[in-house]
Amino acid sequence: MSDKMLTFAQRLKEENRTTHDSVDNLVMSVNPFATPENYVKFLKLQSVFHKIVDPVYRDEALNRAIPDLAQMARYEAVVQDLADLNDTPYVFDGELPQPQGNRAIGWLYCAEGSNLGAAFLFKDVQKLAFDEHHGASHLAPHPDGRGKHWRAFVERLNLLSLSEEAQVEAVEGAKDAFAFYKVVLRRIFGLPEGAEAEAKPLVDYGI
Ligand code: HEM
């Protein structure tokens, strides 16, 4: 399918597929659910990422276009999960990105989409006895269900009717978001640059 036939959301997915899989591999390589200590590190990583996107979720114009967007923000839930484990958000040494404009829409896509894969993470974390009530509230599914909620969100993204130029910026924003996630992960888990394994064969998300 040529790029011209893809919806905006399909384009975000296609153009970030390989990057996504490399992030997935990198996360799994650090065994975030093997011990409570590793899980705390994962929560700290999530705290940096969700802090960056929190203002995007609360953006007034985006909230007019995407109903209930502000309620989808998960930074406070991550902070609560950390508090449940007697810990606090990670303080990133350096300037945090402040996504703006169309690039911010790409960051938003990255953050909201991460709740789809969270289905697997949510299962794994329950082996450590954390759940939506204690320690893992930010990984819990949306009340409408992950799939249904995601399809509604994707529809809203497409209804933004972004121009070609704006879509390119948004895709760049999503790439920035995935790239920064890796930077923070390496820092928190103490990995060298380029530590992830080769990306796995492409996953068909089947949504
Ligand atoms: C071990 C970690 C991860 C695993 C196992 C994982 C797995 C998955 C899976 C299986 C899906 C598709 C879900 C479905 O078809 O219902 C998905 C979607 C997605 N994930 Fe992840 N993921 C991980 C980490 C992340 C992270 C850290 C981010 C963002 C920083 C992220 C962003 C996304 C996005 C944006 C989508 C939506 C793709 C689309 O349909 O456009 N994922 N993930």
Show pLDDT as tens, one digit a residue, over the chain (207 residues): 455 689 999 999 999 999 999 999 999 999 999 999 999 999 999 999 999 999 999 999 999 999 999 999 999 999 999 999 999 999 999 999 999 999 999 999 999 999 999 999 999 999 999 999 999 999 999 999 999 999 999 999 999 999 999 999 999 999 999 999 999 999 999 998 766 544 444 344 333
Cα–Cα distance, 100 to 77 (Å, whole number): 23
Query: What is the domain-level CATH number for residue 98?
Result: 1.20.910.10
Residues ≥6 apart with Cβ < 8 Å to 50: 73, 74, 75, 78, 111, 138
**Residue 205 within a domain:** no
Cα–Cα distance, 183 to 178 (Å, whole number): 9
Q: Which helix (H) or strand (E) holds 48?
A: helix 36-57
Residue 113 near ligand 1, beta carbon < 6 Å: yes
Give the number of the atom of ligand 1 that is nearest the alpha carbon of residue 27.
1
Interval 43-80: pLDDT, tens: 999 999 999 999 999 999 999 999 999 999 999 999 99
**Residue 78 within a domain:** yes
List the residue whose alpha carbon is closest to atom 24 of ligand 1. Answer: 24
**Residue 20 within a domain:** yes
Q: How far is the CA of 111 from the centre of ligand 1 (A)?
A: 9
**Residue 175 within a domain:** yes
Pocket perturbation via mutation, ligand 1, pick of 7, 22, 23, 183 by most ligand atoms within 8 A of CB:
23
List the residue whose alpha carbon is closest to atom 32 of ligand 1. Answer: 114
Report how many domains make up the chain.
Answer: 1
